[in-house]
Amino acid sequence: MVYLDNNATTPLDPQVIQKMTWFVQEHFGNPSSLYPIGRRVKELMTEAREQVASALGAHRSEIIFTGSGTEADNFAILGVLDAVPDKKEFITSAIEHPAVLETARYLERKGYTVHYVPVDQYGVIDLEFLRSVISEATALVSIMMANNEIGTIQPIEEVVKIARRYGVLVHTDAVQSFGKMEINVEKLGVDLLTVSSHKIYGPKGVGALYIRKGTPIRPFVHGGHQEFGLRAGTENTVGIIGFGEAARILKERWKKDKERLEKLAEKLKSGIEQRITGIKFNGHPEKRIKTTLNFAFPGLEAEAILLALATKEIYVSTGSACSEESEEASHVLLAIGLKPEIARSAIRMSLGRFNTEEDVEIVLKELPEIVARLREISPFHPEM
């Protein structure tokens, strides 16, 4: 199998499996219980919180575990807006993940004014637009650090500078940047930041929200006192322990992984460009998570390419995993100016820790053959 869909999810790291297995075998206590078997679980959770915090340059008291990256995004936006009820405007970008975009639509239905910052042909946000719509009435700006479909990296530090002039809080969805570029919440200056465990070789169903000390935010799930009273419910202890271990490993090896994987991705990218004509690369040439490769194959349907690759046990995606089942063209590709029919011809390949040179060689052999075969039977003429 050649797994090239690491932006959708990543396989568990064997060390994470080991830690989680040990944990479920040895520890069933409720972290809220005061006797030793509960206390021990609480200690292990604190260690995991420390591990996630440390990978982000944060303090562990600023990390709230959630049930997913999606929940952390919802919590950041709705929790802050709830805490600043006088401010009725929210700013985000046109190319956010649905976790943010659908929350923005919900806010519109609730009567909020939402401004969607447009992006250029590479997917970089228009800072002039941001400057023109931000005001003291803005409660929060939420702009993703790197895009999940095309990898484009946003100028978050600039966003923070602009927001500060108006005393506006900033959230960033760093789900796709965690482990792929440096993230330090102090350097970035953001108030809230989302990460997700299953994109860093940890288990699914656990995420975290970094909340800078002093940030106004209301509880998201009401009930017990868990997660500093902000997210009630008995914790997903095994998920949290796994996430902590994944973050610990990430901190140790992400730079080395990045170096190796970027070389591998570049080899794949240039190999595809040399072997297949009439294709379009989507994303910023430089300011991009380099392990994300998004190509449009005008004249073909992305799904046909995906399925043909799957018969060879090569797994890629069309757009993002979240829009996979919809017939609609990717909102990200439309926002960077692609025509719907071109957007529907795009596939995303995303590399991760377990990819090898051999994987790249296999794709470089199979993909050109598949594209040539599909082009022969395609009723459309390739045109951009």
User: Which residues are known to be catalytic?
Assistant: 322
| Alpha-carbon span 34 to 40, nearest angstrom | 10
Show the binding pattern over residues 208-247: x = contacts ligand PLP (CB under 6 A), - = does not. ----------------------------------------
Cβ closer to ligand PLP: 173 or 359? 173
Closest distance between ligand PLP and the C-beta of residue 312, in Å? 25
Q: 78, 221 in Cβ contact below 8 A?
A: no
Closer to ligand PLP by Cβ: residue 181 or 362 = 181
Using CB under 6 A, pick the residue from 4, 44, 69, 79 that binds ligand PLP.
Answer: 69
Judged by CB under 6 A, does residue 196 bind ligand PLP? yes
Q: Residue by residue, what is the 3-state secondary structure of 108-176?
A: HHCCCEEEEECECCCCCECHHHHHHHCCCCEEEEECCCECCCCCEECCHHHHHHHHHHCCCEEEEECCC
What CA–CA distance (Å, rounded) separates 7 from 223? 33
Tell me: does residue 152 bind ligand PLP (CB under 6 A). Answer: no
Segment interacting with ligand PLP (CB under 6 A) among 109-117, 172-180, 277-285, 333-341: 172-180
Q: State the nearest-atom distance from the C-beta of 270 to ligand PLP, in Å.
A: 26
End-to-end CA distance of the chain: 32
d(CA 112, CA 110): 6
103 binds ligand PLP (CB under 6 A): no
Q: Is 299 in the site for ligand PLP (CB under 6 A)?
A: no
Q: Using CA atoms, how far apart are residues 291 and 302, in angstroms rounded to an integer? A: 19
Kindly tell me which of 148 and 237 has the beta carbon lying closer to ligand PLP: 148
Which CB sits closer to ligand PLP, 107 or 360? 107
Cα of 308 vs its chain's centroid, Å:
27
The packing angle between helices 69-83 and 98-109, to 10°, is 30
- Which position among 119, 144, 241, 346 is part of the footprint of ligand PLP (CB under 6 A)? 144
Among 79, 123, 151, 207, binds ligand PLP (CB under 6 A): 207
Nearest to 321 by CA among 360, 291, 348: 348
Whose tokens are 């929790």? That residue is 79
How many other C-beta atoms can be found within 10 angstroms of the C-beta atom of residue 263?
13
Residues 6+ apart with CB under 8 A from 269: 281, 293
**Min CB(180)–ligand PLP separation in Å:** 12
Long-range contacts of 59-63 (CB under 8 A, 24+ apart): 59/213, 61/213, 61/228, 62/185, 62/210, 62/211, 62/212, 62/213, 63/208, 63/209, 63/210, 63/211
- Out of 49, 97, 171, 231, the residue judged to bind ligand PLP by CB under 6 A: 97
Strands 292-296, 113-117: pairing is unpaired
**Which is nearer to ligand PLP, 69 or 242 (by Cβ)?**
69
Q: Which stretch binds ligand PLP (CB under 6 A): 171-179, 213-221, 231-239, 308-316?
A: 171-179
- Closest residue to ligand PLP, judged by C-beta, is 69
Helix (H) or strand (E) holding 34: none
With contacts defined by CB under 6 A, name the span among 67-75, 125-133, 339-347, 374-382 that binds ligand PLP: 67-75
Q: Contact between 350 and ligand PLP (CB under 6 A)?
A: no
Q: Which of 44, 175, 246, 329 binds ligand PLP (CB under 6 A)?
A: 175
Are 141 and 371 contacting, i.e. CB atoms less than 8 angstroms apart?
no
Stretch that binds ligand PLP, among 37-45, 168-176, 184-192, 226-234 (CB under 6 A): 168-176
Q: Residues in the site for ligand PLP, rule: CB under 6 A?
A: 68-70, 73, 97, 99, 144, 148, 173, 175-176, 196, 198, 207, 321
